[in-house]
Structure 1
Amino acid sequence: MDDAQNIWFPGTNATSNAERRFVEAIRGRAAGWAQLGLPHTRSAGAPVVRPLLGVELRNTNASLRWLWILFVETKRELSIQCSWGDDTRLNEWGPTAGDVTITLPRLTGTPGELADYASEWITTQATRRRPDSLND
């Protein structure tokens, strides 16, 4: 991975091989988000047990303007939880339109495949018209 990709999601905690592969893969896809108005300077990795990656949508004044992705690894599954939230956490007030969870069997699913889904989700959320009232 080149150094330009490492600027995305500073502070990310990845301890397992699958977590590291997911973070590397999503960073590799993030370079294309600049054309959507998503700069690396408004991305973050929350220092928690599992990788929690966020990027801020800059074209809204809503309190829930961050797109958060939580990578979860169990013995049987790999999954991502994609959710709207604020600048410190996932949305803790219940589901928001656009939130998704994607789960793959560990035997056949890959961190790279989940990074593809996460990148597609971010692209979709960044390009949809979203009235600020839906976020407050």
Structure 2
Amino acid sequence: MTVHSSVELNHTIVHSRDRSESAHFLADILGLEVGPQSGPFLPVGTANGVTLDFADTPAEEIKEQHYAFLVSEEQFDVSFARLEERGVTYYADPFRRRPGEINQGGGRRGVYFLDPSGHSMELLTGA
């Protein structure tokens, strides 16, 4: 496999019923900021420079996507506390079969939850 060090993921579009609600939900859980609107998009930037650009989309056109965020142990604890404070249902697995649990396999912790538009969000710690 050839690795091209000059290739970076810059952004991805997150289709949402309400871009403001979804962007602010995620930013709040992760302790990030919602950037200024750019055209039809409302961006939330991550530490590695990738933005999630939230866009209004009719609900019937939204297909569930999965977004995983690698976080420190400390950030996991803070974000997890925010999920619990807000009463957000979380799961230990991507298939949502283990509600109210944290995945603690392989020396990592992980948790899955849905955003307001039904996208699967994942927080996981490094090994």
* Shorter-chain TM-score tier: under 0.3
TM-score scaled by structure 2? 0.27
Which of the two has greater strand per residue? Answer: 2
TM-score scaled by structure 1? 0.26
Which of the two has greater helix per residue? Answer: 1
Greater Rg, structure 1 or structure 2?
2
